[in-house]
Amino acid sequence: MSLLAVIEKELRMFFRYPLRVISVTLIGIVFLLQFVFFGEAVLGGRYSQILASSTGLGDYPTYALIGYILWWLFASPMEAYVWGVRRELQRGTLETNVLAPIRMIKFLIGLSLGWILIDNVLMGIVFIFGVIVFKIPVSFIIILKAVPILILSFIAFLGFGMIFAGLVMLFKHIGPLTQIFEFGVMFLSGVFFPTTVMPKTVQAIGNAIPLTHAIEAIRGIFIGKSYAELIPTIEILLVLTFFYWLISYALFKYAEKLTRVIGYGGY
């Protein structure tokens, strides 16, 4: 009930700024369009043999749309935690919430789930827009096959994002740093181009990010791979999910303890 109350409060407040809904959707669409057109211009058209031979998926708009939507899904929990706490600090309401018997972790998850819910709806709109505008070959079977991978990816992303929940409690003003990180991930995880074009060390860093493997798995489904063929990728995703949840929980507990020493930065 208390978790739902936090989510409901966030949703109510989000929709009290109607322009925000329009601006977030438009930014999402503009971002997608420019990357797809840029890619097509560089590749000399929609289809690329080079891309197909290195990734198995030669249709650039499909390639970019999958990467972009998953990147959005990946960034959403981070944004939600970081800006959720930031907004509460700006409103002066963080300590009012901390003082309530609701657990801090539950409150933060509520804050982020509200945001993620909104984000995913907007992302869905951008996805449908991309599918229609770029005539992406997507079927009901593909979507159905992608759902379990998407759920697993999302759990991994939530765990990864919670690291930022711990960080934001300690450092408070990490919004810009988070954005730099998100855009860095865009390159490291092969959102718009294959990571194979980058040095091996950079690729190794990219491999530690769950998004890289989530994108690989979903692209695999789009080119008709079976679950059996995707097992190695799914295994890595599972290991990373466990690893990041462990790390983020430990960091969060440490941050929670330290925050009671340094204060919540409230009133």
Partner 1 sequence: MYAIEAENLKKSYPKKIPLPFRKVEWVNAVNGISFKVKKGELFGLLGPNGAGKTTTIKILTTLLEPSGGDAKILGYDIRRDVREIRRRINLVAEGERTLYWRLSAYENLKYFARIYYVPKSVEKERIEELLKLVGLWERRNDLVMGFSRGMKQRLAIAKALINDPEVLFLDEPTLGLDVQSAIFVREFVRKLVDEHKKTVLLTTHYMAEAEELCDRIAIIDHGKIIALDTPEGLKRLVKDEDAVEIKVKDFNPEKLRDAPFALAIVKEDPTSNLTTLRGQIDEEDLPKVVEWLVKNNAKILSVEEKEPTLEDVFIKLTGRAIRD
- Interface residues with partner 1 (CB under 8 A)? 1-2, 4-6, 8-9, 12-13, 16-17, 91-93, 95-103, 107, 170-171, 258, 260-264, 266-267
> Position of tokens 């993620």?
116
The number of CA neighbours under 13 Å toward the Cβ of 259 is 21
Q: Which is nearer to partner 1, 91 or 135 (CB)?
A: 91
Residue 159: CB minimum distance to partner 1, A: 23
Residue 257: CB minimum distance to partner 1, A: 8
Q: Which is nearer to partner 1, 171 or 183 (CB)?
A: 171
Residue 128: CB minimum distance to partner 1, A: 29
Residue 20: CB minimum distance to partner 1, A: 12
Q: Which is nearer to partner 1, 216 or 256 (CB)?
A: 256
Q: Which is nearer to partner 1, 44 or 263 (CB)?
A: 263
Where do the H-state alpha helices sit in the chain?
Answer: 2-14, 18-43, 49-55, 60-91, 94-98, 104-133, 140-171, 175-188, 200-207, 210-222, 227-262
Crossing angle of helices 200-207/210-222, nearest 10°? 90
Distance CA 48, CA 221 (A): 19
Q: Which is nearer to partner 1, 87 or 225 (CB)?
A: 87
Angle, CA 41 vertex, CA 39 and CA 42 arms, to 5°: 65
| Length of the chain, in residues | 267
**Cα 230 versus chain centre, distance:** 21
Residue 264: CB minimum distance to partner 1, A: 7
